[in-house]
Amino acid sequence: MGTEQVAAAQPLLIGVLLLWSSYGKFKNPQQADRTALPRLVGDSRAKSAYLAVAALEALIALGLLAPPFTAIEAVAAAALGLGFTGFLIYSKIVVPEASCGCAGKSAKPVGYRAIARALLLLATAVLATTATGGWWSAGLALVVLVAEAAVFVMLSAELDRYWLLPIRRFRTRLSHPYAGTASSTPPLAATQRRVLLSPAYRAVDGMLRSDIHDYWDDEDWRYLSYIARYDGRRATAVFAVPHQDSTPESVRVAVVDETSGLTLYRPTVLATA
């Protein structure tokens, strides 16, 4: 199994990832409004641009997956990966509260995981440009894709509910949520107080059915989850609390469906009084 075979295997992984991303965008086009696209192209064109990217992803994916093999699709995927990376860096700097919108579901602000995933996509696409045969000629090198796919999963916030959240919930069952908070980050009690005083909490207070159910730190944010009900459906209210901004107005909240993970309610204008 040489470098040539590993390079030949990459289009299979890239194609599947792009199809998944494209499907998420087509299924949830309203996610465009939560990304940095309205700031970049204007509110009226954000959804159209979002769907155009989805169509481009699908087109490149089909080119990578279907014979005959040409390097053009890999070059296009590399260009797409470069564009994704630039867009996410722009989002994090210019519109830090914007979500990735990569697969149309996650309401989390763009973080370093999303940028790392885009860079990994770019790297695999660049490697694919050196291939001389299609993925069907990769042989045993296809096994390498399992490890690569695992890395992509770990970098995908959209998939956290399938593996990361169960681990965190298991950890919560083993220890009290207030235990082990002595660190360089604010104590959980202080974060909870900020949430309780925030306009975001007042916006969803009537939906909450528990105290803190789970919490975790991810880069510049701390997330607190509460059991909630929305229109009679079991849901989870997730509060995003920035470490670097202590004002109550900086707290954000989204109510997501317990089963599908889709955002059910996300107040965009929060009263401060």
Q: What is the pLDDT of residues 117-158, one digit of tens each?
A: 999 999 999 999 999 999 999 999 999 999 999 999 999 988
146: amino acid identity, one letter: V
Residue 116: band (very low, low, confident or very high) from pLDDT cuts 50, 70, 90: very high
- pLDDT (tens digit per residue) in 232-272: 889 999 999 998 888 889 999 999 988 877 888 888 755 44
Q: Which stretch, 3-17, 159-173, 237-251, has highest mean pLDDT?
A: 3-17
d(CA 13, CA 61): 10
pLDDT, residue 81, reads 97
Which residue, among 178, 184, 160, 130, has the nearest Cα to 10 in the 3D structure? 130
Facing residues of 109 across strands?
99
How far is C-alpha 47 from the chain's CA centre? Answer: 18
* Structure tokens given for 223: 């997330």
Which residue, among 227, 238, 226, 241, has the nearest Cα to 265 in the 3D structure? 238
Span 71-92, average pLDDT: 96
Residue holding tokens 């082990």?
A: 180
> In 56-73, which positions are buried (b, 16+ CB within 10 angstroms) versus exposed (e)?
bbbebbebbbeeebeeeb
Q: Which stretch, 92-96, 117-121, 225-229, has highest mean pLDDT?
A: 117-121
Is there a contact between 233 and 207 (Cβ–Cβ < 8 Å)?
Answer: no
Q: pLDDT above 70 covers what percent of the chain?
A: 90
* Structure tokens given for 52: 């155009």
Strand order across the beta sheet in which 233-242 lies: 208-218, 221-230, 233-242, 252-257, 263-265
Residue holding tokens 């998420």?
A: 24
Backbone angles phi, psi at 130, to 5 degrees: -90, -5
With a cut of 90, say whether residue 110 has pLDDT above it: no
